[in-house]
A and B are shown apart, each in its own frame.
Chain A
Amino acid sequence: MIKVDEKGFYGKFGGAYIPEMLHPNIEELKENYEAIMASHEFQDEFRGLLKDYVGRPTPLYFASRLSEKHGAKIYLKREDLCHTGAHKVNNTIGQIILAKKLGKKRIIAETGAGQHGVATATVCALMGMECTVYMGEIDIARQHPNVERMKILGAKVVPAISGSKTLKDATNEAMRAWINDPVGTHYIIGSVVGPHPYPEMVARFQSVISEEMKWQLKEKEGRENPDIVIACVGGGSNAAGAFYHYYNTPEVRLVAAEAAGLGVNSGKSAATTALGTPGILHGSKTILMQTEDGQVVEPHSISAGLDYPGIGPVHAHLFDVGRGEFVAVEDKDAMAAGFELSKLEGIIPAIESAHALYALNLIEYSKDDVIVINLSGRGDKDLETYIKWGNY
Chain B
Amino acid sequence: MNRIHTLFNSKKSRVLSIYFTAGFPALEDTLPIMEAIQAGGADIIEIGVPYSDPIADGPTIQDSNMIALENGISLKKLFEQLKGFRSKIHIPVVMMGYLNPIMQYGMEAFCKKCQEVGVDGLILPDLPMQQYLDDYKALFEQYGLVNTFLISPQTTEKRIKEIDENTSGFIYMVSSHGVTGAKSGITEEQVSYFERVQALNLKNPRLIGFGISDAETFSKASENSNGAIIGSAFIKTVKSSKSLNEDIQTYIQSVIIEKL
| Chain A contact residues, CB within 8 Å of chain B | 7, 15-21, 23-24, 162-163, 168-169, 172, 175-176, 179-183, 277-283, 290, 292-296
Contact = CB atoms under 8 A, between A and B. Distances in A.
B126 interface: yes
Contacts of B56: 19, 21, 176, 179
B174 A21 contact: yes
Given A163-B52, A163-B66, A20 B150 contact: yes
A17 B155 CA distance: 16
Give the contact-size bracket for chain B: 35 or more
Given A163-B52, A180-B178, A294-B100, 15 more contacts: A15-B131, A17-B126, A19-B56, A20-B149, A20-B152, A23-B154, A24-B156, A163-B62, A172-B54, A176-B55, A179-B179, A279-B104, A293-B76, A294-B105, A295-B51
Nearest to B182: A180
Interface in B74-121: 74-76, 98-105
Contact of B154 (A21, A163, A279, A292): A21
A19 B128 CA distance: 7
A18 B103 contact: no
B233 to A, nearest CB: 18
Nearest to B101: A294
Contact of B125 (A7, A20, A181): A20
30 contacts: A19-B56, A19-B125, A20-B125, A20-B151, A20-B174, A21-B56, A21-B150, A23-B128, A23-B154, A23-B155, A24-B155, A24-B156, A162-B59, A175-B55, A179-B55, A179-B56, A180-B177, A180-B179, A183-B154, A278-B103, A280-B99, A280-B103, A282-B53, A293-B75, A293-B76, A293-B105, A294-B101, A294-B102, A294-B105, A296-B52
A18 B129 CA distance: 10
A19 B177 CA distance: 12
B103 A279 contact: yes
B68 to A, nearest CB: 11
A283 B103 contact: no
Given A17-B126, A172-B53, A179-B56, A293 B177 contact: no
Residue picked from B100, B105, B125, B178, most chain A C-beta under 10 Å? B100
Contacts of A19: 55-56, 125-126, 150
A296 B150 contact: no
Contacts of A163: 52-53, 62, 66
Nearest to B102: A294
B154 A182 contact: yes
A24 B157 CA distance: 12
Most buried by B among A168, A181, A294: A294
Contacts of B51: 294-295
A199 B102 CA distance: 24
Q: Point out which of A24, A169, A182, A280 has the most chain B C-beta atoms below 10 A from its C-beta.
A: A280
B159 A23 contact: yes
Most buried by B among A172, A182, A278: A172
A180 B75 CA distance: 29
B184 interface: no
Contacts of A18: 126, 128
A290 B154 CA distance: 33
B69 interface: yes
Contacts of B101: 293-295
B104 A292 contact: yes
A110 B37 CA distance: 39
B75 A280 contact: no
B58 interface: yes
A276 B228 CA distance: 39
B177 A281 contact: no
Contact of A280 (B100, B129, B154): B100
Interface string B170-186: 00001001110010000
Interface centre among A168, A293, A296 (most CB of B within 10 A): A293
A-B complex: 7 closest residue pairs judged by Cβ atoms: A294-B104, A294-B101, A20-B150, A293-B74, A295-B52, A19-B56, A21-B152
Interface string B34-72: 000000000000000001111110110010001001000
Contacts of A20: 125, 128-129, 149-152, 155, 174
B105 to A, nearest CB: 7
B130 interface: yes
A179 B178 contact: yes
A296 B53 contact: yes
B103 A294 contact: yes
Contacts of A21: 56, 150, 152, 154, 174, 177
